Amino acid sequence: MRFHPSSEGQLMMLQRVLTRLESQFDASTDTKTRRDLAERIGKTILDIVETKFVDPEDRDWVEEQMLLGNIDIPDIMPVFANGAMKPKPAPDDAPPPVKKTPARKAPAKKTANASRAQR
């Protein structure tokens, strides 16, 4: 997946908005108000993440995975740091991943000139 880069100003504004909403959430004792603020925090994050996708099909896939419960907001947060989304770790009962090893290079063929160059 590719993402549009985040600007420094965008990250600072997001942090400011989230800090304000979180402080309102912490200061409130009313359950409905806290629920509304929690929804606004999540919606703010998701609205901005939506603007980061280069390919709309990637955005649709992420939305589908969130609806299915396969990923959640913490999984998409690296998008703000201009990084890719990281896949969730495999369950404990999953087979170990296949280790990729570099291919061996075939030994160089000796030629008549190679033996002269060594002298």
Q: Which two tokens stand for residue 106?
A: 């075939």
d(CA 61, CA 53): 11
Q: Estimate to the nearest angstrom the gap between the alpha carbon of 110 and the chain centroid.
A: 49
Query: Taking the domains of the chain in order of start, what are their residue ranges?
Result: 1-87
Q: Looking at the predicted structure, is the pLDDT value of residue 7 above 90?
A: no
Confidence of residue 70 (pLDDT cuts 50, 70, 90): very high
pLDDT tens figures, 12-52: 888 898 899 888 888 988 899 989 988 888 888 888 888 88
Q: What is the pTM of this model?
A: 0.56
Closest C-alpha among 16, 64, 62, 59 to residue 41: 16
Q: For position 99, what pLDDT does the model report?
A: 58
